[in-house]
Amino acid sequence: MAVKAQAQPLASRQASVGTLRQVLAPIGQIFVFVVGSSLILGAIVLVLALLLSRTQANLLSGVLTVLPLVIIDGLVLGFLYATIALGYTLVYGVLEFINFAHGEIYMVGAFVGGGLGLWLASQGLLAAMHPLLFVVFALLVAMTASGLLAVGIERFAYRPLRNAPRLVPLISAIGVSLVLQDLVRLLAGPSRFNLRYPQLGLSRRFQLLEIPTAAGANLRVAIDSQSLIFIVTSLLMLIALNYLINVTKLGKAIRAVAQDRATASLMGINVNLIIAMTFFIGGALGGGAGVLFGVKYSTVNPYIGFIAGLKAFTAAVLGGIGNITGAMVGGIVLGLLEAFVSTYLTLFTGGRFSGPDYASVASFLILIGILIFRPSGLLGEATTQKV
Amino acid sequence: MALFEAKDVKKRFGGLVAVNEVSLSVDERSIVSVIGPNGAGKTTFFNIVTGIYQPDEGTITLNGRSLVGLRPDQIAAFGITRTFQNIRLFNNMTVLENVLVGMHTRLNASVWQILLHGSGYRREERQAIERGLDLLEFVNLRHRADDLARSLAYGEQRRLEIGRALASAPKLILLDEPAAGMNPQETEDATDLILRLRDQLGITVVLIEHDMSLVMEISERIAVLDYGRMIAEGTPKEIRHNPRVIEAYLGQGAAGTRGDTPRGTLPAQAAAANPGAPTSST
Amino acid sequence: MSTSQQSPALGSTLRERLAASLGQGVTPYVVVVGYVVIASFWLISNPFSTIAFLVFLSSLLAIYYFPIPTWLRVALGLIVLGGVMPYVGNLNQGFLDVVTQAAIFVALALGLNVVVGFAGLLDLGYIAFFAIGAYLWAIFSTPQAANIFPGLAASFPLGSAWFFVFLILGVVAAGLFGVLLGLPVLRLRGDYLAIVTLGFGEVIRLLANNLNRPVNITGGAQGITNIGQPPLFFQPALDALNVQSSPGAEYRMYFYALALVIVLITIMSARRLNDSRVGRAWTAIREDETAAIAMGVPLVRMKLLAFAAGATFAGAMGVLYAAKLRFISPPTFDVVQSISILAMVILGGMGSIPGAVLGATLITLLNLRILPDFANQLVLWRRAGLPIPANFDPVQYQRLFFGLVLILVTIFRPEGLLPERRRRAELKAEGSKDTGEALVQDEQNMVHPDVGIK
């Protein structure tokens, strides 16, 4: 299974137009899924609310009031899963290997960004910085660190096992994951186990729209700056990744290695280097996601990688593993679903079932459901074996 | 009545019609060859017959019973087994174990019997091993029964595939290029083995082969496929002089680049000029 | 640990080497019997020494690998596990607990080995079946069950005699869940199966964690306490023999014996299945699905069978586990547990029954004995002035060492400690390929170059 890309031979004149289309087309696909998922989930919630409002007064208005918030929360969560999922999907596309330690690479990114923030604050530099500048700076540093970490892990823990049976590197990866968790815990020390990001003063809220309601008071839909930064940055990262994979020479080499390692090496491609680059890119994206998570939720700990990694991997499979846009789509679907279940399950059952506890149950059930009907994931292509 | 009957079988892959209204009727205890240039749909036809692909149209019957819609393992149990063009043995199992896997549908032990290890079960296993060794004797591999399949030489691997296919006691066996890549001596052995399948075991054989001397020597009837269509069917003699076959083999289409029967080697020429020489690869 | 592990080749070749070097005479008998006797006496005289304990346990390896007749193997095994170990258990309860715990994990590893090792299906949610067995007994042997069946409240908790019924029910329930999960998902490709099973494991754990509302079924995050114990049916016999013992010690020995019996049954079942037409079908599926199905192997049914068979082992052990600990809670059944059972299987050698036993024992020992001991040792070293950072409390970093062990073992022994014959061949063949840039992907092409690269 190869990294999916829509590469067509391009006439040189139309190259720029074609490139633009290739790089931006996935954005359209993602937009379709964002709107589609929100509409479907929203419709389900509304129908349920209407059905239940006979017994529970005020339910409908309560449901509607929180709906925009739930969608924004879901999007943030979705883009978090999506960005991490990209790392899984890239590595899987090239090596057909589940990099179990990827969740920890994301966690390390979060710690590097937070550590940098604390250091800058202690030097008095943070106050002088524009918050956005800090975010960009932290992103760059954390992405580099996580990328290099991923390359190092590949070199020492995976490369020696490249020809071993498939499950063996998986165990090595689990080992790496355990080591990283405790290593970060050790380096952070007990006082920094829960690492708090410094206050960035990002308190502005951007009003998106105002919906007039019957009650008179207008319903305001606003998005906080952290969420906005989160969504915009991860979209930018996706566009950059698409450009890299579809247009650049490196991307071509990565696709070639994904398709057929042996032949690629015969064509003069340095396979080891390309695999290392793939790990770097995947790791950097994970590290970036870590910083964004820190900026948005402000507290990180050494164990955040595990569950996030699990969900992200679920997202990658949901979208069709090996498929870049699929990973994003899978993440968003999963994030939205979890946000909806978290809020509305509690609301609808009057607290008898606690929504956040069942959110994961819902995402795994939807995974099983979708795989039964689309065994290759949402955007995956059916692979028929040649006999 | 014919043992095996395929009628108007059609299979599309997207826009490509890989097999287009192919009909083939095979009498019991006969040897029928399917020939044709690379990409003619021969292996696809085998895959349809054995249930790996489902046909889009058409009927396939064995002994009058329809096979369409059955799973490959059901078809194997029903009496059709095959070998593969690119040998697919269970490489890390022994030669005998490969044959025993082929016997799966003929063994009846339930999980409980296996766990309880009763005398009935032990007898069945013992008999299976004996029968497996007999089959290995038949394909001349008994002396290698305990070696891993991957350690066999190429010709031996081809023979083991046939032995494994025989293990389920099939009525019809489909051989996909049984002599591909063999030297003249190996080809002769393969020819001999195929004839013994019919003469000693009474099994009906359908084979895909590019070695025209082999095809002409052993086939009672030959079917020729080109671009998914059956363009001719008849005795070796008829096929050798059929103008459509000659055209197909000389045809204007691009010749297979990955070494298959080169267009331009007529069945007749190949048989006459170069008896026994391998004319094919892959 | 044992001498055998330092030799370059393990598995049946080791047995051949030993046979060759020791000859066919009485030498192997003397060596093995001597080993068992010395190790036993050492442990009995030092019942708190972990090293003596490890040497003693490794005598089982010696019994397994030395070229001695089967009757002697059985006799020595009985002496070690049935005589010396219980005796040591009276001197040091800790070791008996460790061995019982190891036995529980051995059964789990054997079960997972059927799924992953024999049939090649990657199952990352295996612990769920263990949880099903454990919760089944936990719910019905406590008043918890009355919440589910209020009408029958008076009949709960069930009496201790029901334990053996539930041992069977645990097997059945786990097998059923195996089929239920398997039916929809076994058509999926390998890695998809991995994530779906992982999800299933998480769903089961989350349900255990949250099904205390609206009806309290599982006790939620607090878990279930005071789980029923099996009946002491031999108590009259003990009384008649005038044996004085505390119920605690009796139960400890009882669970040890029960766990051993279940392990023996699982080993026997796994072996018989593997040597039958079912086992051959599993290997064939692992090797080449398309060829297997074309040869008449019913793919889905065989996979389901592997799934269900593996699950049953875990179901039985779950019931035993709940009864032994008398307390279960959801964290016992999280993904990390599934993964560590998988690590046991892979460490031992996938598809290898002795491998699964060894892998499970080693990792249990590592977690329960070796790592804590090592941590204590580090503390001693630090007190002695070695430069170990002050905030590094080694007892808290067992995960780190466990992770390191996993990485090192996989890198230096990717085929596992006691690889199965077929797997060993597989690895050797793959190792001979040009690492990194394997130019020739298909062995067939190497055997016969003129067939061309497909």
pTM of the model: 0.84
> Which tokens in the block code for residue C79?
């002496």
SS (H, E, C) A198-253: CCCCCCCEEEEEEECCCCCCCEEEEEEHHHHHHHHHHHHHHHHHHHHHHCCHHHHH
Three-class secondary structure of residue B206 per DSSP: strand
> Which tokens in the block code for residue C338?
């599934």
* Terminal C-alpha separation, chain A: 17
Alpha helices by DSSP H, A96-166: 102-122, 131-153
Q: Which of A6-20, A197-211, C109-123 has the highest mean pLDDT?
A: C109-123
Identity (one letter) of the amino acid at B107?
Answer: L
Residue B231 confidence (pLDDT) above 80: yes
- Give the pLDDT confidence score for residue B256 in this predicted structure: 38
Contact A367 C195 (CB under 8 A): yes
Lowest mean pLDDT among A126-140, B171-185, C184-198, C308-322: C184-198
Contact C206 A357 (CB under 8 A): yes
Distance from the Cα of C402 to chain B's closest Cα (Å) equals: 32
Residue A10 confidence (pLDDT) above 50: no
Type and span of the H or E element at C27? helix C27-45
Residue A160 contacts C, CB cutoff 8 Å = yes
Mean pLDDT of chain C, nearest integer = 82
Q: Which of A10-19, C2-11, C48-57 has the highest mean pLDDT?
A: C48-57
User: Over the stretch A83-125, which tens digit does the pLDDT of each residue have?
Assistant: 999 999 999 888 888 888 999 999 999 999 999 999 998 888 8
| Higher local confidence (pLDDT), A85 or C418 | A85
Nearest CA in chain B to A385: B52
Distance from the Cα of B221 to chain A's closest Cα (Å) equals: 26
Mean pLDDT score, C164-171: 94
Residue A367 contacts C, CB cutoff 8 Å = yes
Nearest to A286 by CA among A142, A387, A185: A142
Residue B276 confidence (pLDDT) above 50: no
User: Over the stretch B2-27, which tens digit does the pLDDT of each residue have?
Assistant: 899 999 999 998 888 899 999 999 99
- Give the pLDDT confidence score for residue C374 in this predicted structure: 80
Nearest to B72 by CA among B174, B160, B2, B3: B174
Q: What backbone phi and psi angles, to 5 degrees, belong to C391?
A: -85, 5
| Confidence band for A156, pLDDT divided at 50, 70 and 90 | very high
Closest to B117 (Cβ–Cβ): which among C272, C297, C444? C272
% of chain A beyond a pLDDT of 90: 30
Contact C203 A364 (CB under 8 A): yes
d(CA C275, CA B109): 12
Mean pLDDT of chain A, nearest integer = 85
> Which residues in C lie closer than 8 A to residue A367 (C-beta atoms)?
195-196, 199
Mean pLDDT score, A309-328: 87
d(CA A117, CA C157): 57
| Higher local confidence (pLDDT), B264 or A225 | A225
User: Over the stretch C263-291, which tens digit does the pLDDT of each residue have?
Assistant: 999 999 999 999 999 999 999 998 898 99
Residue C99 confidence (pLDDT) above 70: yes
> Which residues in A lie closer than 8 A to residue C350 (C-beta atoms)?
165, 167
User: Over the stretch B180-219, which tens digit does the pLDDT of each residue have?
Assistant: 888 888 899 999 999 999 999 999 999 999 888 899 999 9
Nearest to C1 by CA among C72, C50, C74: C50
CATH superfamily of B4-90+169-273: P-loop containing nucleotide triphosphate hydrolases (3.40.50.300)
Lowest mean pLDDT among A59-63, B148-152, B216-220: A59-63
- Give the pLDDT confidence score for residue C439 in this predicted structure: 30
CA dihedral sign of residues B188, B190, B193, B197: negative
CA distances from residue C361 to C57, C176, C415 in whole angstroms, order as listed: 9, 28, 18
Contact A305, A121 (CB under 8 A): no
Residue A57: CB partners within 8 Å, gap ≥ 6?
none
Lowest mean pLDDT among B108-117, B147-156, C394-403, C424-433: C424-433
Residue A314 confidence (pLDDT) above 50: yes
> Which residues in B lie closer than 8 A to residue C452 (C-beta atoms)?
258-259, 281-282
Query: Partners of A172 in the beta sheet?
Result: none
| Higher local confidence (pLDDT), A225 or B60 | B60
Q: Can you give the residue ranges of every domain in chain A?
A: 15-373
> Which residues in A lie closer than 8 A to residue C407 (C-beta atoms)?
157, 172, 175-176, 179
| Confidence band for B138, pLDDT divided at 50, 70 and 90 | very high
Mean pLDDT of chain B, nearest integer = 86
Chains that touch A (3 or more CB pairs under 8 A): B, C
DSSP 8-state assignment for residue C231: -
Residue A371 contacts C, CB cutoff 8 Å = yes
User: Over the stretch B28-64, which tens digit does the pLDDT of each residue have?
Assistant: 999 999 998 888 889 999 999 999 999 999 999 999 9
Three-class secondary structure of residue B34 per DSSP: strand
Residue C106 confidence (pLDDT) above 60: yes
> Which tokens in the block code for residue C309?
């068979």
Contact A26, A378 (CB under 8 A): no
Residue A263 contacts C, CB cutoff 8 Å = no
> Which tokens in the block code for residue B22?
């192919």
Q: Can you give the residue ranges of every domain in chain B?
A: 4-90+169-273
CATH class of A15-373: mainly alpha
- Give the pLDDT confidence score for residue A279 in this predicted structure: 96
Please state the separation of Cα A1 from the chain's center in Å: 21
d(CA A292, CA A311): 17
This complex has an ipTM of 0.86
- Give the pLDDT confidence score for residue A377 in this predicted structure: 79
% of chain C beyond a pLDDT of 70: 85
Residue C417 confidence (pLDDT) above 60: yes
d(CA C207, CA C211): 5
d(CA C253, CA A298): 52
Residue B141 confidence (pLDDT) above 90: yes
- Give the pLDDT confidence score for residue A125 in this predicted structure: 83
Please state the separation of Cα B113 from the chain's center in Å: 34
Q: Can you give the residue ranges of every domain in chain C?
A: 1-91, 95-347
| Confidence band for A55, pLDDT divided at 50, 70 and 90 | confident
> Which residues in C lie closer than 8 A to residue B88 (C-beta atoms)?
288, 290-291
Closest to B104 (Cβ–Cβ): which among C297, C448, C450? C297
Residue A385 confidence (pLDDT) above 60: no
| Confidence band for B249, pLDDT divided at 50, 70 and 90 | confident
> Which residues in C lie closer than 8 A to residue B71 (C-beta atoms)?
293, 298
Lowest mean pLDDT among B236-250, C144-158, C219-233: C144-158
Within C318-379, strands assigned E span none
CA distances from residue C368 to A338, C105, C328, C336, C354 in whole angstroms, order as listed: 37, 12, 18, 16, 21
Residue C35: CB partners within 8 Å, gap ≥ 6?
C59, C62
d(CA A83, CA A285): 6
Q: At what angle do helices A324-348 and A225-246 cross, to 10 degrees?
A: 150
HSE, CB side, 13 Å, CA atoms: give it for residue A153. Answer: 32
| Higher local confidence (pLDDT), C11 or B79 | B79
